[in-house]
Amino acid sequence: MKFVDEASIRVEAGDGGSGCVSFRREKFIPRGGPDGGDGGDGGSVFLVADANLNTLVDFRHRRGFRAERGKDGMGRNMTGRSGEDLLVRVPVGTRVRDKETWESIGELLRKGERLLVAQGGFHGIGNARFRSSTNRAPRQSTPGTPGEQRRLHLELILLADVGLLGFPNAGKSSLIRKLSGARPKVAGYPFTTLYPNLGVVSSGNGRGFVVADIPGVIKGAATGAGLGIRFLKHLARTRLLLHLLDIAPPDDFVDPVQQVREVESELRAYDGNLARKERWLVLNKRDLLDPADFERRRTGILERLGWSGPAFGISAVTGEGTRDLTRALMRYLDQERREAAIEPGATSPDQAVDNGGDWHPLA
């Protein structure tokens, strides 16, 4: 099923029920007095984060959601039943905005979290509530207030600890297949990856982290070229970026250093905060070179880039170097969590969905 990360919907809360005008009429009880009950409150609309969902595709088929109206009040001081709240399930990581004003309403970052998006109407008052010493037979009541109506823009931003970044065919999908149970399509041509993939990497003892793979970024992505710019937002919540680089490109005219600079330029053009995020360099496909040639190329690339951060040489196909990379990632993320004095939270593996690279609702 197609991966959908944006959708627009309309939500309508229920109106409040109207108050009742009624007078007690029973045999042998003359002038029984007012007994009109209040109406019920209208139901509200809530968005609920569901870890079993991983796309907004359901909202392409259903765009309107309406909560139940409150019932009107009745005689004998009977209050109308309140309308049921409507719970609309969305994936964890959904950002919600008002479509008319573009105001941010909130984000759902944890499993089971709720967000009120439309408040139900308040109930009307029955005539029994208007009785007083000077007004013993009131004939007035109030109607229920209308429920809130809104047009919402939903945007799904994946929750992951580590994001994979790089040109097409750099080996991002091969690496996520090697590190996790995700099984995205891998082929020898560019733009094999059309949609983001999530994989859960386990390091034993119940510890692990989530990796996100997005389509490759190319020159001009910030102005609409390729697919990467559309999905770069899914790296916004990651704690660390792995910049994969093909150290043995098939064409001699391809310059790996120039590719790194072009990706950096696109990151800055898209979002300065994303460009400033912690980024490690991963030199992939070392199995295609002999050790001496690999070391020579590695040194030359790092010197030309002036790279001072962590750099790793791996083979996503054979697995060479991936264990050291996984251990370093786990140490870094553990340190980040300790410094932030928080638990893994919404980006912990138990709240991610590792679906083998295929995006589809599980419920």
Two tokens, residue 302: 């790092």
Question: Stretch 279-306: mean pLDDT, rounded?
Answer: 93
Predicted confidence band at 102 (pLDDT cuts at 50, 70, 90)? very high
Which residue from 159, 207, 171 is spatially nearest to 329, judged by alpha carbons?
A: 207
What per-residue confidence (pLDDT) applies to 1? 46
Which residue from 15, 7, 11 is spatially nearest to 149, judged by alpha carbons?
A: 11
Task: Say which residue, 12 or 29, is predicted with more confidence.
Answer: 12
d(CA 311, CA 294): 13
Q: What percent of the chain has pLDDT over 90?
A: 52
Q: What is the mean pLDDT of the chain?
A: 85
What per-residue confidence (pLDDT) applies to 72? 97
What per-residue confidence (pLDDT) applies to 349? 43
Task: Say which residue, 202 or 280, is predicted with more confidence.
Answer: 280
What per-residue confidence (pLDDT) applies to 60? 85
To the nearest 10 degrees (0 to 180), the angle between helices 322-340 and 172-179 is 80
Amino acid identity of residue 176, one-letter, is I
Q: Phi-psi bin for 153: left (phi > 0), alpha (psi -120 to 50), beta?
A: beta
Over 70: is that where the pLDDT of 356 sits? no
Amino acid identity of residue 59, one-letter, is F
Two tokens, residue 3: 């991966």
Task: Say which residue, 335 or 45, is predicted with more confidence.
Answer: 45
Task: Say which residue, 209 or 68, is predicted with more confidence.
Answer: 68
Q: Which residues pair with 209 in a beta bridge?
A: 201
Over 60: is that where the pLDDT of 310 sits? yes
Over 60: is that where the pLDDT of 318 sits? yes
Over 60: is that where the pLDDT of 279 sits? yes
Query: Which range (17-21, 98-102, 268-272, 312-316) has the least confidence?
Result: 268-272
**pLDDT, tens only, 152-181:** 999 998 888 998 988 888 888 889 888 887
Q: At a CB cut-off of 8 Å and minimum separation 6, what does 61 contact?
A: none
Predicted confidence band at 326 (pLDDT cuts at 50, 70, 90)? very high
**pLDDT, tens only, 85-96:** 999 999 999 999
What per-residue confidence (pLDDT) applies to 18? 97
For residue 359, what is the DSSP state?
-
Which residue from 174, 158, 167, 211 is spatially nearest to 191, judged by alpha carbons?
A: 167
- At residue 197, the 3 state secondary structure works out as strand
Q: Evaluate if pTM is beyond 0.75.
A: yes
d(CA 101, CA 103): 5
Predicted confidence band at 216 (pLDDT cuts at 50, 70, 90)? low
Question: Stretch 17-23: mean pLDDT, rounded?
Answer: 95
Question: Residue 311 phi/psi, 5° resolution?
Answer: -140, 140
Q: What percent of the chain has pLDDT over 70?
A: 85
Predicted confidence band at 118 (pLDDT cuts at 50, 70, 90)? very high
DSSP 273-284: HHHTS-EEEEEE
d(CA 77, CA 36): 5
DSSP 52-120: T----GGGGT--EEEPPPPPPPBTTTBPPPPPPPEEEEEETTEEEEETTT--EEEEE-STT-EEEEEPP
Predicted confidence band at 2 (pLDDT cuts at 50, 70, 90)? low
**pLDDT, tens only, 50-95:** 988 888 988 988 999 999 999 999 999 999 999 999 999 999 999 9
Degrees to nearest 5, angle at CA 198 with 90 and 153: 30
The secondary structure of the chain in percent helix, strand, coil, rounded to multiples of 5, reads 25, 25, 50
